[in-house]
Structure formats: structure tokens, C-alpha cells
């Protein structure tokens, strides 16, 4: 049944139906008489086949390093999906992107556990791309209106998943910021101690 709904809501089916409707209107208006059924079916097939299919979203491969600057790829990702996500989901993606841009440059120097490193890597390699790919492969009408077996729409489900991911990155970002703050305090204490002994140089 889910496949039936996916087909009905699909952009390709909607475009095909619109073109087929043009053929039917031409038939009822008397512009075409012979082979009208084949023309209508041909227009539907044309619309269905020419509708662009969604592409898989990827930031880096699982074998690549997180050491490279991913800022351009993150910016390109947000730009690519910007017109295809509703505003609330796009805002959540922007929030996740901002936290990743804060965390990734400091990854090598982070004093964090293996779990946090795993979360960061999987967010870039797997979690975020897979979430967005799965959502964007759904017809927009289906994603917004159709209730899935969890009782929620795909839009609501993705929003919850993005919230969970954002919360994990928020926790890690706070940890990193706290480390930076402690380093700043330690540097200040060092300078105070250093300058307090300036008489030693006289």
C-alpha cells in the first residue's frame, strides 16, 4: 500500500497526469480525434519519464578523513537542498551545519571520548546525508500529508531526527567551548603569575 501512495503522490505521476490532462482537453475541444487515447497515454509517459529523479546526498565517503575543510561541502549541501525543504526543516539543518563548522576545525585537538568522535564522524558520513536523502526521495505531498506507521508524517519524523542530532552536537559543542574557556582561564593565570614575578628581571 505504501508503494501505491508513493506512486500517487510522486512528482513524476503528477507531471504525467498534468500532461495527460492537456491531451484530454485537446480531445474534448475537438483538436484531436484519431488516436486520442494513445496521445494521452504518450503525454503521461513523457511527463513521467522526463521528471528529474532525486539524487543521493553525500558529504564525504566513509574512507575519507574529517581533517579536510568541510565548510564548502556543508555550504553546498545547504544550498542544494534549500529550495526542497520546508522552512522549519531547513532551519534545523542550518543549526546542525553551524555546530559542525564549530566542531570540525577543532576535532584534532579535542579532549573528548570515543563516543563523541563517533557521533561527529557518523553525522558527516552517514546520519545527516542519509536522513536528507531518504526524505528528499519522497514525493513532497506524501512527505507532508501521509501518515506513516509511526502515526507521523515524514516531515514530522525528519524534524524529530534532526532535533536529536542537533541536541547531540549541541552537547559536544558546549564541551568544546568549555575546553576553550578553561584554556583561556589557564592562560590568564599563567600571565598573572608571569608578570607578578617581573621584579625578578630587575
d(CA 64, CA 58): 12
Q: What is the pTM of this model?
A: 0.63
Q: Please classify residue 122 by burial: count the beta carbons closer than 10 Å to its beta carbon, then call 0-12 exposed, 13-18 middle and 19+ buried.
A: middle
> What's residue 56's pLDDT?
60
Domain borders along the chain are 2-50, 71-196
Alpha-carbon distance values, 122 to 65, 80, 130, 194 (Å): 12, 21, 10, 43
**Residuewise pLDDT in 10s, the chain (202 residues):** 556 766 676 777 788 888 888 888 888 888 887 888 888 888 888 888 888 776 666 555 555 555 566 677 778 778 878 878 899 999 999 999 888 888 877 765 555 555 677 777 778 778 888 888 888 888 888 888 888 888 999 999 999 999 998 998 888 877 776 655 455 555 555 555 555 555 554 4
Amino acid at each position: 500500500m505504501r508503494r501505491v501512495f508513493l506512486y500517487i503522490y510522486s512528482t513524476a505521476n503528477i507531471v504525467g497526469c498534468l500532461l495527460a490532462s492537456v491531451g484530454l482537453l485537446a480531445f474534448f475541444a475537438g483538436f484531436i480525434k484519431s488516436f486520442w487515447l494513445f496521445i494521452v497515454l504518450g503525454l503521461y509517459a513523457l511527463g513521467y519519464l522526463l521528471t528529474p529523479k532525486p539524487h543521493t546526498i553525500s558529504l564525504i565517503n566513509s574512507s575519507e578523513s574529517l581533517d579536510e575543510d568541510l565548510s564548502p561541502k556543508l555550504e553546498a549541501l545547504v544550498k542544494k537542498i534549500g529550495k526542497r525543504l520546508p522552512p522549519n526543516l531547513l532551519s534545523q539543518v542550518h543549526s546542525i551545519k553551524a555546530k559542525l563548522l564549530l566542531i570540525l576545525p577543532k576535532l584534532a585537538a579535542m579532549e573528548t571520548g570515543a563516543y563523541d568522535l563517533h557521533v561527529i564522524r557518523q553525522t558527516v558520513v552517514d546520519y545527516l546525508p542519509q536522513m536528507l536523502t531518504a526524505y528528499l526521495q519522497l514525493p513532497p505531498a506524501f512527505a507532508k500529508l501521509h501518515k506513516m506507521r509511526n502515526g507521523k508524517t515524514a516531515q514530522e519524523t525528519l524534524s524529530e531526527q534532526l532535533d536529536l542530532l542537533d541536541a547531540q552536537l549541541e552537547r559536544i559543542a558546549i564541551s568544546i567551548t568549555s575546553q576553550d574557556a578553561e584554556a583561556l582561564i589557564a592562560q590568564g593565570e599563567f600571565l598573572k603569575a608571569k608578570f607578578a614575578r617581573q621584579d625578578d628581571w630587575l
